[in-house]
Amino acid sequence: MNGVNRAKALGSSLAIVAAALLIGFALQRLHIHPANFALVFLTAVFVSAVMYGLWAALLACLASLLAYNFFFLPPLYTFRITDPSNIVTLFFFGIVAIVASNLAAQLRKQAVTAGTERLRSAMLTSLSHDLRTPLASILGAAGGLLAHRHTLSDSAQIDLIATIQEEAERLHRFISNLLDMTRLEAGAIVPRLDAVDLSDMAGTALRRAEQILAGHQVTMEIPRDLPLLRLDPVLFEQVLFNVFDNAAKYAPEGTCIALKAHEEGSVVSVEISDEGGGIPAADLERVFDKFYRARAGDSRRAGTGLGLAICRGFLQAMSGAITARNRAGGSGAVFVITLPIASYHPAGIAT
């Protein structure tokens, strides 16, 4: 939990105690014995524990003890206690509250773990499918080649070899994505920031994606005097590759994928648009979620559901951003990447 969230949790638990106090005042008017108010405060502590964890619960416990003593135990409006039986009440209140908040906090932790479990099982489903499918093709093709090498025609052999190669490459991309995601989640991504040329990086990403994009036409419009960008070239090349990969997957063959860049104040904005079916309006944000996949009912294979999540993670690590929208005229998705400009401007050096 970061500092802001923790402060929020502690504040909320105090608010819950304040609510308990108001209920106590209401009960007081009904002439209910003050000893019962302890139960109201105990409820407040318990709610804090379930919603905000142990520390919030302990704070609620302390605040409750003080408020209960100050407002409800004689002498009123002091922190003094004269009746020994009230000391006993407060003492046991404290113990019960602490034990209860401990238990509740553990319950909460388990609930959080259950959420992680759900994500993990989604990951395992994705993993087993995405790893097994190409593996099955590779094993099948290799086994076929070995067993029938004397009877298979040349073209059939080449087919099988090509299958092995393509499927192994798919596997490689998938494993790379998994590793990238794992590195991101482990906080192991430390960008090596450098001033780099966008057209240079777009060129290398395109080279790497050459086979995937063989069926598409790619156009690039990058101003020649675009300033250098401040980012990690390796991470950013992966971002571009993933966006290209995504476009190749969801835009039909024969269509055009366009990359355009322009300067916008202190950032450079890079837009990559395709001519596919676009993204449902409700999912424009969700496409960046881990394991989000577009409906994959038809022949084309769904992706790993990691590519765009990695893009967002990498860009955030480099003080960049990525958003999705749909093309204004005609169908297709547009991914907009914004990147910080390096302080240094190419116009500044003489040749």
Partner 1 sequence: MTRPLRILVVDDEPPIRRLLRTSFAAAGYDAIEAEDVSSAMRMLRAEEPDAVILDLGLPKQDGFDFIRIVRETALTVPVVVLSSRSDEAGKVRALDMGADDYVTKPFGTDELLARIRVAVRHRLQRDGEHAQFETGDLKVDLVRRVVAVRGADVKLTPREYDLLRVLIAHAGKVLTHRFILREVWGGDTDVQYLRIYVRTLRQKIERDPERPQLILTEQGVGYRLRAPD
Question: Judged by CB under 8 A, does residue 145 bind partner 1?
Answer: no
CB-based contact 59:9 (threshold 8 Å) = no
Give the three-state DSSP class for 221: strand
Question: Judged by CB under 8 A, does residue 233 bind partner 1?
Answer: yes
Residue 132, CA distances (Å) to 46, 138, 140, 162, 304 in order: 47, 10, 12, 18, 13
Question: Judged by CB under 8 A, does residue 283 bind partner 1?
Answer: no
CB-based contact 268:261 (threshold 8 Å) = yes
Question: Judged by CB under 8 A, does residue 139 bind partner 1?
Answer: no
Question: Judged by CB under 8 A, does residue 134 bind partner 1?
Answer: no
CB of 184 to partner 1, least distance (A): 12
Residue number with CB closer to partner 1 (117 or 200) = 200
The 187-226 site mask, x for binding partner 1 (CB under 8 A), equals -----x-xxxx-xxxxxx-xx------------x-x-x--
State the Cα torsion 151-157-163-164 to the nearest 10°: 90
Cα–Cα distance between 188 and 23 in angstroms, integer? 49
Question: Judged by CB under 8 A, does residue 234 bind partner 1?
Answer: yes
- 73: its two tokens: 């135990």
Question: Judged by CB under 8 A, does residue 346 bind partner 1?
Answer: yes
Cα–Cα distance between 225 and 263 in angstroms, integer? 10
CB of 54 to partner 1, least distance (A): 38
Among the listed residues 104, 181, 228, 322, the single contact to partner 1 using CB under 8 A: 228
CB-based contact 91:132 (threshold 8 Å) = no
Question: Judged by CB under 8 A, does residue 326 bind partner 1?
Answer: no
Residue number with CB closer to partner 1 (97 or 206) = 206
CB of 257 to partner 1, least distance (A): 14
Q: Which residues contact 169 (CB under 8 A, 6 or more apart)?
A: 211
Residues contributing to the site for partner 1 (CB under 8 A): 168, 172, 176, 179-180, 183, 192, 194-197, 199-204, 206-207, 220, 222, 224, 228, 232-234, 237, 342, 344, 346, 349, 351
